Chains A and B, each alone.
Chain A
Amino acid sequence: MKEILKKTAVEQRKALLNKEISAVELTNAAFERIEEVESKIEAFNCLTKEVAIKTAKKVDEKIAKGEELPLLAGIPLALKDNMNLIGYPTTASSKILENFVSPFNATVTEKLLHNLVPIIGKANLDEFAMGSSTENSAFKKTKNPWDLNKVPGGSSGGSAACVAACESTLSLGSDTGGSIRLPGSFCGIVGMKPTYGRVSRYGLIAFASSLDQIGPFARCVEDAAMLLEVISGVDPKDSTSLNTPVEKYSTMLKDDIKGLKVGVIKELTGEGVAEDVQKAMQNAINTYKSLGAEIHEISLPYLKYSIGVYYIIATAEASSNLARFDGVKYGYRTKDAKNLMEMYTKTRAEGFGAEVKRRIMLGTYALSSGYYDAYYKKAQQLRALIKADFDKAFEKIDILISPTCPNTAFELGSKTEDPLAMYLTDIATISANLAGIPGISVPAGFDSSGMPIGLQILAPQLGEVKLFNASYKFEQANDFYTKISSI
C-alpha cells in the first residue's frame, strides 16, 4: 500500500497541490489497494474506475494550469450502492435491482462530480439499507478490517470498511437509524449523520423517507466536515431539503470549547454497556473536562421507546417505498408468471431478501385499516415526544454524548438468527433520526480485543458547527483516529 493512502484528505490535498503525487496516481493507488485487500474485505459491489480516472485527469489538468482546486478535488471516494451514478448499477445490494442502471445521478453525485471528486466504486450495504451488520446484502458479506471474523456494522458497512481499510479516503453512507454512525464506530473511523434535510435525498434509494439522510465517512473530523460542506444544501428536487445556507464547517473546527455544556445521556450509560465501552466513555468525559467543558447528566425519558417507534415508522414507510419494485418497469421480474398477481408475488418473493420481507410485512401491518391508530399514529405521537425530550435537553446543554453502540463489532453470523438482538444494536443512534438532529461517531478507543469504540455526539437541529467543533476537539485531544487497521 502506498503511504499516501493512510493520510487524511487534508494531507492528500496538500500532496496534490505540492505535486508530490498526481490525482491519477492517487486514484490508481486506491485501485491497487483495492486489488490487494478487496478479496478479504469485500466492501465493493462494483468499481467505477472509468469515471474515477476521468475525474482525476481533470484535477491534474487544473493543477497543471495552476487553477484553483475545488474542495476535495482528486480525493478518492466511494458511494454507498444506494446512490445513483449514471452508467453504473445501483443495486441497493438487492437481487431485485441486480442489473439496474440508473439513468440519472443523485444530487450528491452531481455535487461530487462538480467538485471533481473521483468516485472509485459503489460500496456494499445491507439490502435496501435494512440492517446493522451488512450481512443482509444479497451479494457479499463485508468484513471488518480490524478483524475479518467480525462485521463492519451496517447498513453502510461497505462504505465504512473501505475507508478503514484505506481502499478509499472518503465515502458516503446513508443513515436511517444509525447506518453511518454504527459502522463508523465498528470500523474505527468518523461517520456523521447530518440534520434531516441538510443533504438532498434525490437519487438515494429510499428506505424510510422521513428518517433517511446521507452523510460522510472519513478518517478524521476535518475530512468529514469538508465532505459535508460539498454535499449539503437546498435542492429544488427534494422538497424536504432545508433552505438554510451551508456553513464552512471545516474552517470552524478549532474554536475553544471552554464552557461548552456537554450532556451525558443517562439512559445510554451504565447498565447494558460493555465494560470497555464504559471506560472509553469515562475517558471521553475526562477529555471534555480537561478541555474546560461542563459535564451534565441528562435524562431523556422517552428514549426507551425509540426502537419500538422506529420499527413502526421506518417499516411503514419502507413498505410503501418498496412497492415500486414490482417487476413491471425495471429490475428483476420472475420468469413465466401465469398472471399479474403471480408476477407480483413471485417477483417480490424471489427478489427481496428475508429482512426486507420482514420489514415490508411489519410496515404493511402497521398501516392496515384498524391498526393505523394503534401503531402508526401512536408511533408518530411518541416520535414527537422523543423530539421534545431533545428540544428540552438542548435548552440547557450544547451537545449530548453517549457511546455510539453499547458494544463493539460482533462476530459474523452471531445475530443473524435473532432480528431483535440485531435491532437493539441501534439503541443509541435511532433517536437522532426520529428527532431529525445531527449526530456523529468519532473514534474513542479500543476494547481489550483491539476492536474500535465510537463516541456518539449529538447536537440540536442544524447544529453541525457545534457538533464538528466538539468532535474535532475530542479527536485532537486523543490519538485514536491516527490508528489504522493492520490489514
Chain B
Amino acid sequence: MDTVTREKYEVVIGLEVHAQLKTKSKIFAPDSTEFGNEQNTQISPITLGMPGVLPVLNKSVVDMAILTGLALNCKIPNRCKFDRKQYFYPDLPKGYQISQYDEPICIGGCLDIKGKRIGITRAHLEEDAGKLVHAGADGIAGSNYSLVDLNRAGTPLLEIVSEPDMRSSDEAKAYMEELRNILRYIGVCDGNLEEGSMRCDANISVMLKGSKEFGTRAEIKNVNSFKALQRAIEYEIERQIDLVEEGERVVQETRLWDDNLGETRSMRGKEDAHDYRYFPEPDLMPLEISQEWVERIKETMPELPKAKRERYMSLGLSEYDATVIVEQPELAFFFDEVIKLDANVKTSINFLTGEVAAYLKEEKLSIGETKLTPENLVELVNLIEKGTISNNIGKQIIFTMLKEGTSAASIVEKQGLRQISDEGAIKEIVQEVVNSNPEQVASYKAGKVQLLGFFVGQVMKETKGRANPKTVNELLKEFLD
C-alpha cells in the first residue's frame, strides 16, 4: 500500500489479554494447574462438571487479581460477582464458563507506554477451557475424531481489556510487552505467549484522520507471539483500508490470524455471534472485597518495571541496558542483588547483558538454573576493578562460573590467571618477542604501525592473556619506537 493512502487513515486498536494466573490450584477446584502433564490427570469431578459438583472460589486467585488491578492502577470495587457464559463445546465440561459479566473485579485503570497512557477498561476473572486434540491432523480439518484434554479446564484467567487507545501496531506491541513485564514482575503470570499462558485478541478499526467516529471493528483471534500481533495488525489495517478505499464496508466480525499464510480470515460474522445467555452464577455468592483486603495485597506490591527502569537509569545505565534487563525479571532480580553488594554497576551489567544473557539464550536456561550467584559475580567484577585479572580473562572464566558454580578467585588461583602488572616481568617478555621477530620489527619501523597488534598478541600469547594490556602497549611502544 502506498504511504499516501495509508497516511490518510488513523488506526484504532484495543486489546483483550487473557492472562493465566499462576496459582497452584484451579479457580474453582483443588486440581493442580501445572502445565505439560499427561492428558486428563488434573481432572477432579469438579473440573469434569460431574452431576452434583459445585464451584468453590480459590482465594489466591482473588489475591492475584487484586494485585494485578493495583499494578494497573485499577479500582477494586468492594463487590463483584460471577456469571455463567453459556455455549456448547467439548472442551467446556459444564456447558458454561464461569466468568464475570457486569461486575468485574477490577475497573478503570491505565498503563503507560513510551510516554503514552493507555486506558484499561476492566479486568475480570474467569475459568479457562480444556483443549481438543484432533486425531491424525494438525487441525480439525482432515481429522476423523477429536480427543478432549481437560487438564487446563478451570485454570484461572484474568481477562484484561484495554480502551481503544492504541494507534499503531508498535503501540500495541509496546502495550503487550509492558503488560507482560508487569504481570511477570508481580508474579501472577508466566507471560508465555507461545505456551498460551498469555493470549491476546485485538480489536482493530480504521478511520479517516480527523474523523470523530471510529470505523467498524474486526476482532482478531489466535495471535500467539509479539511478531504475530504486529503482523496481524498490519495485515488487518491494509485489508480494512483497501475495503474502504474501494468503497466497500468493513463488516463487524471475528477473524482468525493464520501465522503460516500471514493473513486473517473470517471466523464468524456479527449475525453468527453467540448469544451467551449470561446470568448470575447461583452457586457462588457475590464476592465482597474489603478495603483491608486490598490494603493487605497492596503491601506485597513489588517494584514495577517502570520504576525499576528509572532506578537503573539513575544508577548510570543506558536506557537500552535498563530496558533489556528489565525485560528479563529474573536477571533483573539477580542484578538487584549485585547492586546491594556494592559492585561496579557498569561492569556488572555488561556481564549480565553480554556473556550471561548469551549463555542463557544458547543453553535455554534461566539464571536460576545456572550455578552463578550474585556474590560470585561481584567477586569477579571486583577482581577486574582491582586489576587482579583482565576484563578478557573475566569474560573467559564467567562461563566456568555459570557451569560449575566456582568462585572467580579460586579459578584465577587454580589456573594462574592473575594479571601480570609487574613491569619488569612484562619487559622481559616484550624483549623476547621483539628479539624473535626481527622481520616484523623491520616492517614496523618502516611504517607499518598496525603491526603493533601483532606484537601485543604475541605478548598475550606468551602470558596466556594475563599481561596487563595497558602496560604491554606502553612497553612495546618504548621498544619499537
Shortest beta-carbon distance, A400 to chain B, in Å?
25
| A84 to B57 Cα, complex, angstroms | 22
- Asked if A320 contacts B50 (CB within 8 A), the reply is no
Shortest beta-carbon distance, A377 to chain B, in Å?
9
CB of A206 within 8 Å of the partner chain: yes
| A369 to B49 Cα, complex, angstroms | 25
Within 8 A of B (CB), among A30-72: none
Residue of A nearest to B94 (CB): A324
Shortest beta-carbon distance, A309 to chain B, in Å?
15
CB of A475 within 8 Å of the partner chain: no
| A326 to B86 Cα, complex, angstroms | 13
| A328 to B86 Cα, complex, angstroms | 16
| A486 to B306 Cα, complex, angstroms | 83
| A340 to B283 Cα, complex, angstroms | 29
CB of A210 within 8 Å of the partner chain: yes
| A97 to B52 Cα, complex, angstroms | 12
Partner of B48, one of A84, A316, A329: A329
- Asked if A239 contacts B283 (CB within 8 A), the reply is yes
> Which chain B residues border A83 with CB–CB below 8 Å?
52
Residue of A nearest to B87 (CB): A323
- Asked if B50 contacts A103 (CB within 8 A), the reply is yes
- Asked if A236 contacts B56 (CB within 8 A), the reply is yes
CB of B110 within 8 Å of the partner chain: no
- Asked if B51 contacts A97 (CB within 8 A), the reply is yes
> Which chain B residues border A323 with CB–CB below 8 Å?
86, 88, 94-96
CB of B316 within 8 Å of the partner chain: no
Within 8 A of B (CB), among A199-252: 201-206, 208-210, 236-240
Within 8 A of B (CB), among A291-344: 316-317, 319-320, 322-326, 328-330, 340, 344
Given A316-B279, A323-B95, A329-B93, A237 and B51 contact (CB-CB distance below 8 Å): no
Sorting the interface of chain B by its residue count into under 10, 10 to 19, 20 to 34 or 35 or more gives: 20 to 34
Shortest beta-carbon distance, B129 to chain A, in Å?
12
| A164 to B88 Cα, complex, angstroms | 42
- Asked if B54 contacts A238 (CB within 8 A), the reply is yes
- Cβ contacts B119-137/A at 8 Å (1 or 0 each): 0000000000000000000
- Asked if A209 contacts B282 (CB within 8 A), the reply is yes
- Asked if B50 contacts A330 (CB within 8 A), the reply is yes
> Which chain A residues border B278 with CB–CB below 8 Å?
367, 372
Shortest beta-carbon distance, B74 to chain A, in Å?
25
| A236 to B283 Cα, complex, angstroms | 13
- Asked if B54 contacts A201 (CB within 8 A), the reply is yes
Q: How many residues of A contact B (CB 8 A)?
A: 44
> Which chain A residues border B49 with CB–CB below 8 Å?
324, 329
- Asked if A326 contacts B88 (CB within 8 A), the reply is yes
- Asked if A240 contacts B275 (CB within 8 A), the reply is no
- Asked if B283 contacts A320 (CB within 8 A), the reply is no
CB of A376 within 8 Å of the partner chain: yes
CB of B329 within 8 Å of the partner chain: no
- Cβ contacts A355-372/B at 8 Å (1 or 0 each): 000000000100111001
Within 8 A of A (CB), among B246-290: 275, 277-279, 282-285
- Asked if B51 contacts A92 (CB within 8 A), the reply is yes
CB of A106 within 8 Å of the partner chain: yes
> Which chain A residues border B52 with CB–CB below 8 Å?
83-84, 90, 102, 104, 106, 202-206
- Asked if B277 contacts A202 (CB within 8 A), the reply is no
- Asked if A102 contacts B50 (CB within 8 A), the reply is yes
Shortest beta-carbon distance, A98 to chain B, in Å?
13
CB of A446 within 8 Å of the partner chain: no
Residue in A204, A210, A367, A368 with the greatest tally of chain B CB atoms within 10 Å: A367
- Asked if B93 contacts A324 (CB within 8 A), the reply is yes
CB of B148 within 8 Å of the partner chain: yes
Chain A contact surface mostly: loop
> Which chain A residues border B394 with CB–CB below 8 Å?
none
- Asked if A104 contacts B86 (CB within 8 A), the reply is no
Partner of A104, one of B45, B88, B275: B45
CB of B90 within 8 Å of the partner chain: yes
| A365 to B279 Cα, complex, angstroms | 13
> Which chain B residues border A240 with CB–CB below 8 Å?
54, 282-285
Residue in A97, A239, A340 with the greatest tally of chain B CB atoms within 10 Å: A239
> Which chain B residues border A372 with CB–CB below 8 Å?
277-279
> Which chain A residues border B57 with CB–CB below 8 Å?
239
| A369 to B96 Cα, complex, angstroms | 16
> Which chain B residues border A330 with CB–CB below 8 Å?
48, 50
> Which chain A residues border B282 with CB–CB below 8 Å?
208-210, 240, 317
CB of B180 within 8 Å of the partner chain: no
Within 8 A of B (CB), among A429-474: none
Residue in B49, B52, B95, B96 with the greatest tally of chain A CB atoms within 10 Å: B52
- Asked if A239 contacts B56 (CB within 8 A), the reply is yes
> Which chain B residues border A239 with CB–CB below 8 Å?
54-57, 283-285
CB of B53 within 8 Å of the partner chain: yes
Residue in B57, B84, B283 with the greatest tally of chain A CB atoms within 10 Å: B283
Residue of A nearest to B285 (CB): A239
- Asked if B95 contacts A326 (CB within 8 A), the reply is yes
- Asked if A364 contacts B55 (CB within 8 A), the reply is no
> Which chain A residues border B283 with CB–CB below 8 Å?
206, 209, 239-240
| A104 to B272 Cα, complex, angstroms | 39
Given A328-B148, A368-B275, A237 and B94 contact (CB-CB distance below 8 Å): no
> Which chain B residues border A410 with CB–CB below 8 Å?
none
Shortest beta-carbon distance, A411 to chain B, in Å?
32
> Which chain A residues border B285 with CB–CB below 8 Å?
239-240
CB of A100 within 8 Å of the partner chain: yes
| A316 to B279 Cα, complex, angstroms | 9
> Which chain B residues border A322 with CB–CB below 8 Å?
95
Given A240-B283, A329-B93, A367-B277, A320 and B86 contact (CB-CB distance below 8 Å): yes
28 A-B pairs whose Cβ atoms sit less than 8 Å apart in the complex: A84-B51, A102-B45, A102-B51, A102-B52, A103-B45, A104-B45, A104-B52, A202-B53, A203-B53, A239-B283, A240-B285, A317-B279, A317-B282, A322-B95, A324-B49, A324-B51, A324-B93, A328-B90, A329-B48, A329-B49, A329-B50, A329-B148, A330-B50, A344-B88, A367-B277, A368-B275, A372-B277, A376-B279
Given contacts A202-B52, A209-B282, 8 further A-B contacts (CB under 8 A): A202-B54, A317-B279, A317-B282, A320-B95, A324-B49, A326-B95, A329-B93, A330-B48
A-B residue pairs, 8 tightest by C-beta: A323-B95, A209-B282, A367-B277, A210-B282, A203-B52, A205-B51, A324-B49, A369-B275
